[in-house]
Amino acid sequence: MNADLPKGTATRQDLSEAGVALVVSHGEAAQAAAAMLRRRYTFADERDARILVALGGDGFMLHTLHEMLDGGEARPVFGINRGTVGFLMNEWRLDCLGERIASAKAVEINPLTMRAETVHGDEWTHAAINEVSLLRETRQAAKIEVMVNGRVVLPELVADGVLVATPAGSTAYNFSAKGPILPLSAPLLALTPIAPFRPRRWAGAILPDDTRIRFNVLEPTDRLVAAVADQFEVRDVSSVEIGLDRSRPLTLLFDPDQALDERIAAEQFAT
């Protein structure tokens, strides 16, 4: 990441000339850390920023990225963890913020696009950075037909649900559902069932990232199913189409020794 940024010292530093702005979650820890950063650094106004520093947790990082996808200007984001897990964030440190941003490793990710139709005929389109998941709304298992590139590959999946994850999201809900961890550079998507009942032995699939995936909900008015794109939920869906959107890439910045691709690779060996 090339930027003409000042070196980190104990004195107040001006990051505004480099176009670095600070955005902060509402969490108490993030707000307290923001006060410390503002005493140490001067930041640009968010509207004039070329780089964003996002202070919070993974949820706030997703919120920040979605604001760009929903019409905001796409800018590199350097996340600092003042949340819970912080997988998409860098570790919290007060000092040397300018140096860290200047030497950061840039990682580009592409979101999924979900197009969902409900049993009432409503249509919704939303982006997902981590995953799109279908989840049963009632005590009854969902019944879902799975199509890949216009061909039925699974006539009836009976399960709690099913999801499609990007490499960036493969260590999140996908991994909890026993899906595969995908290297960040791999042009792949994970298709993973959630608590499958039938077929019992279907563990999911790894697909090229140019694949078009469609889920048709069987018995959609009796076995209600919701579709969730990251944090955006559409209830009572009848069908959902999912594909990768390469037209709106997003850039995350990481300390070189803790970049996202290395973290994802390390997750394969976590015990």
Quote the CA–CA distance of 266 and 247 in Å, as a whole number: 29
Which residues is 157 bridged to in the sheet? 144
**Per-residue confidence (pLDDT) for residue 169, from 0 to 100:** 96
Pairing label, strands 51-56, 77-81: parallel
171 is in an annotated binding site: yes
What value does the mean pLDDT take over residues 242-257? 96
- Cβ contacts of 76 within 8 Å, gap of 6 or more: 1, 50, 51, 52, 106, 251, 252, 253
What value does the mean pLDDT take over residues 114-141? 97
pLDDT at 183 over 90: yes
Percentage above 90 pLDDT, the chain: 88
Which residue would you say has higher pLDDT here, 4 or 175? Answer: 175
pLDDT at 3 over 80: no
pLDDT at 87 over 90: yes
Q: State the catalytic residue, choosing from 58, 122, 230, 261.
A: 58
247 is in an annotated binding site: no
Residue type, 42: T
Which residue would you say has higher pLDDT here, 56 or 71? Answer: 56
Q: Is 58 a catalytic residue?
A: yes
Kindly indicate the confidence band of residue 28, based on its pLDDT and cuts at 50, 70 and 90. Answer: very high
Q: What is the overall mean pLDDT for the chain?
A: 94
**Per-residue confidence (pLDDT) for residue 72, from 0 to 100:** 79
41 is in an annotated binding site: no
Which run of H or of E encompasses 39?
Answer: helix 28-40
173 is in an annotated binding site: yes
Domains of the chain: residue spans and CATH:
13-110+248-267 (3.40.50.10330), 112-244 (2.60.200.30)
pLDDT at 122 over 90: yes
What value does the mean pLDDT take over residues 139-151? 98
What value does the mean pLDDT take over residues 214-227? 98
**Per-residue confidence (pLDDT) for residue 1, from 0 to 100:** 54
Q: If 0-12 CB within 10 Å is exposed, 13-18 middle and 19+ buried, where does residue 138 land?
A: exposed
Quote the CA–CA distance of 198 and 156 in Å, as a whole number: 8
Kindly indicate the confidence band of residue 10, based on its pLDDT and cuts at 50, 70 and 90. Answer: low
Kindly indicate the confidence band of residue 5, based on its pLDDT and cuts at 50, 70 and 90. Answer: low
Sign of CA dihedral 165, 209, 179, 153: positive
**Residue pair 126/229 in contact by the 8 Å Cβ criterion:** yes
3-state DSSP helix/strand/coil % of the chain, to nearest 5: 20, 40, 40
**Per-residue confidence (pLDDT) for residue 8, from 0 to 100:** 44
177 is in an annotated binding site: no
3 is in an annotated binding site: no
Number of helices (H) and strands (E), helices first, in the chain? Answer: 5, 18
